Amino acid sequence: MNPEINIYPTPDEVADAFARKVYELVRNAAGTFHWALSGGSTPKLLFDLLAGNYATQMPWHKIHFWWGDERCVPPDHPDSNYGMTNQHLFSKISADPGQIHRVRGELDPETACAEYIREISDNVPVQNGWPVFDLMMLGMGDDGHTASIFPDRLELLHSGQICEIAVHPQSGQKRVSLTGKALNQAAYVSFLVTGKSKSARIRQIIQQEHGSSALPAAHIRPVEGKLAFFLDREAAGELRI
Ligand code: 6PG
């Protein structure tokens, strides 16, 4: 598998390029487009751009929004990935609430996880027994985690469940995360990674260095879909290409 590596000078240009890719994918989609979003801070630039430059031209009615992971907090909590997306995107576009499938982080994690699995199973097309998201947007932590699959829980990469409850290794915060097999079923899997703090992990993963198998993001290899990296110059700074 040779991933597509896209490198741009700045985070703004990464966001611009990814927005263009999303627009292309959604426009070319025959019907409903199931997009699993990443959380954290990196997506904010992208969401602001989509809410601005694409507010009218993006066929929002085709998109159903999901998350690769969500923190087990209420939607108005500062850590909520839904809350961040609502602030930077949903509050500024005409997205039908019926198209937004958030993890109900305000519930106990077991209930939220089971409910999200049911929501995915009822709405996302299935292949080989797994949901196939049209676009799986992923970030990566400095420790090489992706979604909420952290290095101390590599078994989540091989779970037979669509989602599992994860725990942030430092904060102890519980999360609901898609598992490795669910991530790898997607038609188009794309990492959006910026910043110098990510450069060593990006080098290890893309150059498949010895030891990279300890990094969850290194196990993101779509079964049939495409894998792409959208990086800024800082995150790509250690790559030999
Ligand atoms: C989350 C994310 C997580 C994130 C990385 C990178 O819920 O935190 O889904 O996987 O993408 O931690 O986060 P930053 O974009 O903040 O560096």
The DSSP H or E segment spanning 87 is helix 81-88
Q: Is 42 in the pocket of ligand 1 (CB under 6 A)?
A: yes
Atom of ligand 1 nearest to the CA of 147: 10
| pLDDT greater than 70 at residue 1 | no
Residue 214 — very low, low, confident or very high, per pLDDT cuts 50/70/90? very high
Q: Is 83 in the pocket of ligand 1 (CB under 6 A)?
A: no
Task: Quote the percentage of the chain above a pLDDT of 90.
Answer: 98
| Protein residue with least CA distance to atom 7, ligand 1 | 39
Q: Is 139 in the pocket of ligand 1 (CB under 6 A)?
A: yes
Contact by Cβ (8 Å): 198, 225: no
Q: For residue 95, what pLDDT is reported?
A: 84
CB-neighbour burial class of residue 36 (10 A; exposed 0-12, middle 13-18, buried 19+): buried
Q: Strand, helix or coil at 180?
A: helix
Amino acid at 210: H
DSSP string over 5-29: EEEESSHHHHHHHHHHHHHHHHHH-
Q: Separation of 166 CA from ligand 1 center, angstroms? A: 14
Residue 241 — very low, low, confident or very high, per pLDDT cuts 50/70/90? confident
Q: For residue 94, what pLDDT is reported?
A: 79
Q: Is 168 in the pocket of ligand 1 (CB under 6 A)?
A: no
CB-neighbour burial class of residue 129 (10 A; exposed 0-12, middle 13-18, buried 19+): exposed
Atom of ligand 1 nearest to the CA of 146: 10
DSSP string over 93-149: S---GGGB----TTS-HHHHHHHHHHHHHHHS-EETTEE--SEEEE---TTS-BTTB
Q: Is 134 in the pocket of ligand 1 (CB under 6 A)?
A: no
User: What is the token pair recorded at 144?
Assistant: 């090489």
HSE (side-chain half, CA atoms, 13 Å) at 184: 19
For the stretch 11-34, pLDDT in tens is 999 999 999 999 999 999 999 999
For the stretch 98-127, pLDDT in tens is 999 999 999 999 999 999 999 999 999 999
Contact by Cβ (8 Å): 219, 183: no
Q: Please choose, from the candidates 186, 182, 177, the residue with its C-alpha nearest in 3D space to the C-alpha of residue 149.
A: 177
Atom of ligand 1 nearest to the CA of 198: 17
Distance CA 193, CA 211 (A): 20
Q: Count CB neighbours of 77 within 10 A.
A: 13
Distance CA 64, CA 74 (A): 21
Q: Choose the residue to mutate in 136, 140, 232 for probing ligand 1, maximizing ligand atoms within 8 Å of C-beta.
A: 140
| Protein residue with least CA distance to atom 13, ligand 1 | 40
Q: Is 111 in the pocket of ligand 1 (CB under 6 A)?
A: no
